[in-house]
Amino acid sequence: MKIGVPKEIKNHEYRVGLTPNGAAELVLAGHEVFVQASAGEGVGFADSDYEAVGAKIVPDADAAFAEGELIVKVKEPQPVECQKLEARHTLFTYLHLAPDPVQTEGLRKSGCTAIAYETVTDVYGRLPLLKPMSEVAGRMSVQVGALSLQKSEGGRGVLLGGVPGVTAAKVVILGGGVSGTHAAEMAVGMRADVTIFDRSINRLAELDAIFQGRVKTAFSTPAAVAEAVKTADLVIGAVLIPGAAAPKLVTRDMLKTMKDGSVLVDIAIDQGGCFETSKATTHQDPTYIVDGIVHYCVANMPGAVARTSTLALTNATLPFTMALANKGTHKALNEDIHLARGLNIAEGEVTYKPAADDLGVPFVKPSWLSVL
């Protein structure tokens, strides 16, 4: 199969969909890999690194899409990229369709088959291709939150860990999954006062055991969250409903009860955000203020640590990319129910029900897909 790897074009997105080592594996398996010139420069991979393992460098995105049958990316295709997709293409990348009707319509019109990293599962029902970026985003959320709390950044002027004689900042983490757990690890390491909210009693018990009493745990209800944010210095939104829009856990009215200069970091912004006042921002202009509260809502947080993120992502995606290349899209999906759960668009229809429901469009299961 021919695999196309275009350069990412989202604002300050430096990651690349395939590392030279990943390209080498595909070439050794008999496939052709076409990488857009300078696609890997942002993470330290030169064109010559790809050529050394047998990949071919093409001059621009048009060539990468024209040559490729399987298009491997990182972020959701931008409108200009959707226009390059055709019915013959299989797109393998993060999609986050639920809050993005424009992208959804572009993909439907293209006729391509689009498989989303974020809804592929494993035998335990986990999300193995979302996990590495959730880990990165969780850890980054505390870094950017601590920076945003600085007075020069619009924050309260609070040091996350405090100092002897001065209390530590209060950090509230909404969601005890992968992102929330990694956020808690960083916040605890910086000596913050940390509380994790979740709606699973079992997960709260696990977190209590993991952190051995170094974090507080709380069952998540609207009233409990509303009370907690009143005294919080930093609130990290880390909730996830796979493939669906994130629930709004912090309302505009709650902002009025918070301390001026407090910070909200919305890890769930790719799925529409879990704060009512969230709107996607970029690394170039990451924050804005509503009712005195600093909002950090960058939609591609891991792009800021692009090399770490690229290496972690390819480690996770390569086995699935190899299966698609070796078997072809239809066979690969029909032989692997976990990969098949990543199918979001096929034959001009939305094929992932949570996304279809949030978008208000019909859910259509492809006639050729027998595994689901």
**Which residues are known catalytic residues?**
96, 270
Residue 12 near residue 284 (C-beta atoms within 8 A): yes
Q: Considering only CA atoms, which of 126, 127, 160 is closest in space to residue 141? A: 160
- Quick one: which H or E segment has residue 2? strand 2-5
Could you tell me the two tokens for 355?
A: 């996304």
Question: What's the CA gap between 208 and 212, in Å, rounded?
Answer: 6
User: SS3 for 159-202, per residue?
Assistant: CCCCECCECCCEEEEECCCHHHHHHHHHHHHCCCEEEEEECCHH
| Nearest Cα residue to 58 out of 26, 35, 33, 85 | 35
What does DSSP say about strands 216-219 and 287-290: parallel, antiparallel, or unpaired?
Answer: unpaired
Q: List all residues 6 or more positions away from 129 whose beta carbon is below 8 Å from its beta carbon.
A: 117, 118, 120, 313, 316, 317, 320, 342
Question: Any idea of the CA torsion for 350, 355, 357, 360, to the nearest 10 degrees?
Answer: -70
Question: What kind and span of H or E run contains 155?
Answer: none
* DSSP alpha helix (H) spans, 30-100: 47-52, 61-67, 79-82
Contact 109, 350 (CB under 8 A): no
